[in-house]
Amino acid sequence: MQRIGIIGTGDISAAYLQIARDLRLFEVAAVADLDAARAGARGAEFGVPALTPDELLALPDLAAVVNLTPPAAHAAVSLQILRSGHHVYSEKPLAARLEDGAELLREAGQRGLRVGCAPDTFLGAGHQTARELLDSGLIGRPVAATAFMMSGGPEGWHPNPQFFYQPGAGPLFDMGPYYLTALVNLLGPVRQVGGHATRALSERVAGHESRRGERIPVNTPTHVTAQLGFGEGAAGAEVTATFIASFDVAGSELPRMELYGTEGTLSLPDPNTFGGPLRLKRRGSDVWEDLALTRPFQENARGIGLADLLDAAARNRPHRASGELAYHVLETMYRTLESAEVGRVLQIGSTTGRPAPLEASPTWLGGTGN
């Protein structure tokens, strides 16, 4: 089993450590954090050594290092990992700035190393089954898609909500990677985008008991609409998609995602989850059918993108949750806000292929699944 290190021991680190324990897809050799006490507590919780970041990067037998630091630090820490000679797998987004994401990919290319990036939820049973059905022609030629992330924002429950309302965050950068990555997995790269962005409130009020009543300035758009044009994607089709990401709504009954084809509609599961439900309405039918999921990972399996990267590096094949995919999504988000500012449709300069479908029994799964 290949050994990895984790830098950053915030809340999300528990998910990776739990998957390592439950599925045994990789072994966590050590964790590290600038906050030694936090690293020590997380290490003790999972029986893993806690080191400083420099000590972790000096370990000789790591197959990769996972970057779970705050988003503003992603680029700097990932560069440090690459320069220490290790493959890197980062939480989303790839970087806070587009130019930093490009630098990461250049650095990795020059060193012959790999960059992987969350989200890997598109590798879960729900969206992989949807990909299989789309590619089989079940709904005919895809013509359009919709995706909605509608919420009132995290300040009512999150213990540290300030970040969510600053540039580089907001609903687009916080949740957009899940939805946009899922769309690219299904439809291929984004060719162009037209954006519109607004901010309903100039400040928010924290509701968590540790900060109740604290006022939070809002310095980024909190309701973003993107009209996306996909070029040569699934079945060579040209497809348009509408994506709305909002922290400004009290509630919504809109579906998370739908994919429309000439012969039917697929209602897709929340792309921030791994399972279902997945439903089909055929053209001419009045009935929605519940579809069985045919791929592994129906439960929370954050870290399977890392397992795929490790196997891909060992077998010299492309990995699925790639840096190129993450950079393309990052550029799409940046161009969405830029389009909103300049008032015209913008072209997306980067491109990426659709990740290869995940097999029903991946070589690295070893007979284990959930």
Q: Give me the amino acid identity at 30.
A: A
pTM: 0.94
Q: How far is CA 368 from the centre of its chain?
A: 23
User: How far is the C-alpha of 247 from the C-alpha of 324, rounded, in Å?
Assistant: 28
CATH class, range 124-290: alpha beta
The pLDDT score that the predictor gives to residue 237 is 58
Select the CATH number that applies to the domain covering 3-117 from these four: 3.40.50.2000, 3.40.50.2300, 3.30.110.60, 3.40.50.720: 3.40.50.720
User: How far is the C-alpha of 346 from the C-alpha of 310, rounded, in Å?
Assistant: 36
The pLDDT score that the predictor gives to residue 135 is 96
What residue ranges of the chain have pLDDT lower than 70? Answer: 232-237, 366-370
The pLDDT score that the predictor gives to residue 369 is 43
What burial class does residue 138 get, using C-beta atoms within 10 Å of its C-beta: 0-12 exposed, 13-18 middle, 19+ buried? Answer: middle
Helices 323-342 and 98-111: angle between axes, nearest 10 degrees: 160
Q: What are the boundaries of each domain within the chain?
A: 3-117, 124-290
Q: What is the pLDDT of residues 161-188, one digit of tens each?
A: 998 999 989 999 999 999 999 999 999 9
Q: What is the pLDDT of residues 210-262, one digit of tens each?
A: 999 999 999 999 999 999 999 754 555 589 999 999 999 999 999 999 999 99
User: How far is the C-alpha of 20 from the C-alpha of 3, rounded, in Å?
Assistant: 10
